[in-house]
Amino acid sequence: MPNEIMPYVGVGALRFGMTPAQVHQILGAPRFSRRDTHRLREMYGAGGPALTFKAAAGSEEPKLAEIAFTKAATDVIYRGTNLFSGERPAVVTKLYNDDSQPKEVSGTLVFPRLGITLTGFHAGPEESMAVTAFAPGIWDTNLIGAKPFKLG
């Protein structure tokens, strides 16, 4: 099943704002789960997503906020491009062409107009590659004062 990223909407059948129960109807039970006060993390194993659910202020029920994949996922697609099968610089350039004002936060490229982060695509070992799609507002505070990234 391809994991098509739809900026600020979701990935594949997963939509931001879903509850854990709604996600479980699609993916089944996670292989690993960890909860703290305002966050739930669920992992679905090699090639599967790592999901982060966050509870909004005044809400008890956490909602899907981030959908992440490592290089073990072979089918993460953005606008017709498989992000893990292409050359790393070409993938960065493709996203940069759609959002020419990305930021770099602790080695992660954040494309705020797209709701996508890339790790390990512009620097570092290939094994560190990861892609995360995120819901609106999730990265806003982390981007204050973040270093702009320029192709070069």
Distance CA 47, CA 134 (A): 18
Q: How does pLDDT run across 42-100, given as a tens digit for each residue? A: 999 888 899 999 987 666 789 999 999 999 998 999 999 999 988 899 999 999 999 99
The per-residue pLDDT for 52 is 97
Model confidence at 148, in pLDDT bands (50, 70, 90)? Answer: very high
The per-residue pLDDT for 44 is 94
Lookup: tokens for 144: 């204050």
Distance CA 137, CA 144 (A): 12
pTM, entire model: 0.94
The per-residue pLDDT for 2 is 77
The DSSP code sequence of 42-62 is EE--TTS-EEEEEPPTT-SS-
Model confidence at 1, in pLDDT bands (50, 70, 90)? Answer: low
Q: How does pLDDT run across 4-20, given as a tens digit for each residue? A: 999 999 999 999 999 99
The per-residue pLDDT for 90 is 94
107-114: list long-range contacts, CB under 8 Å, 24+ apart. Answer: 109/149, 110/139, 110/142, 110/143, 110/146, 112/139, 112/143, 113/7, 114/7, 114/78
How many CB atoms are located within 10 Å of the residue 79 CB? 13
Distance CA 149, CA 39 (A): 29
- For residue 127, CA distances in Å to 32, 33, 40, 59, 102 come to 21, 23, 25, 37, 22
- Judge whether 40 and 30 are in contact, CB under 8 Å: no
